[in-house]
Amino acid sequence: MNAARRAATVLAPRARQSFLRTNSQVVLGGPRVFSTQQLHELGSVDHGFTDERVDKVAEPERRAFTYLMLSSMRFAYASFARVLVIKFVASMSASADVLALASAEFELGEVDEGSTITVKWRGKPVFIRHRTAAEISEEAAVSLAHLRDQETDEERTLNPKWLVVLGICTHLGCVPLGDAGDFNGWFCPCHGSHYDVSGRIRKGPAPLNLEVPPYKFLDEEKILVG
């Protein structure tokens, strides 16, 4: 009886190891891990990857087609993005009519000395005065101590003979009257602001001089405002 037990004790581990090698089963103190052969028998292996993958050696044309399709899609996306960017930038550019209003040319040949013309630029009135030699001398001699908004006459003109200012009172935006006021320049009747022939505020509630717009002379008888 004891001999039979010893024989069973010796043979049992050997039989168990043989069973494990035959069925490729591993037990690691937890759930059982089945062999590939057992999984195939149980029908639990997904063959999708094996069946659908492209063999790069046996089917090189399919790989080339895949690369071609990917490259084509990327090119299409890049082209579409480029068109969107171009349209966005174009929408931010000024239109032709806006550019036309940005600057304006005016003839000065028919403006007599000592007179003022009023032109329109960007919907605003612009005073252009052809000053006399006496007016130029008088404005150049004004002391800055007498001015609220201190600017010399030279700083406000490109050519002493011509004064170019916006015709908008700096108090509340009214249009001053020309050749009027205590200084023979402009006078705003709304609240009594007086400007001299250099467009500088000399009396009244306006805080600043008449604004000088950007301009340049194209020749002796033509000016470009804007």
pLDDT in tens, 12-42: 455 555 544 544 444 444 556 656 666 566 6
Catalytic residues, which ones? Answer: 191
Residue 212 has φ and ψ, to the nearest 5°, of: -95, 115
Burial of 226 (0-12, 13-18, 19+ CB in 10 A): middle
The structure tokens 């049992």 sit at 12
Specify the 3-state DSSP secondary structure of 57.
Answer: coil
Convert the pLDDT of each residue in 182-211 to its tens digit: 999 999 999 999 999 999 999 999 999 999
Residue 166 pairs in a beta bridge with: 126
Q: Which amino acid is at 17?
A: Q
pTM: 0.57
The stretches in the chain having pLDDT less than 50 are: 1-2, 4, 7-8, 10-12, 19-20, 22-29
Using a CB cutoff of 8 Å and minimum separation of 24, what contacts does 117-123 make?
118/167, 118/178, 119/225, 121/213, 121/225, 121/226, 122/226
The structure tokens 């062999």 sit at 35
User: How confident is the model at residue 37, as a pLDDT?
Assistant: 62
Per-position b or e across 129-154, b if 16+ CB within 10 A of its CB? bbbeeebbebbeebeeeebeeeeebe
Residues in the chain: 226
What is the spatial distance between Cα 223 and Cα 159, in angstroms, rounded to a whole number?
Answer: 11
What is the signed CA dihedral for 180, 181, 187, 188, rounded to 10 degrees? -130
Q: What angle do CA 103, 104, 106 make, to 5 degrees?
A: 150
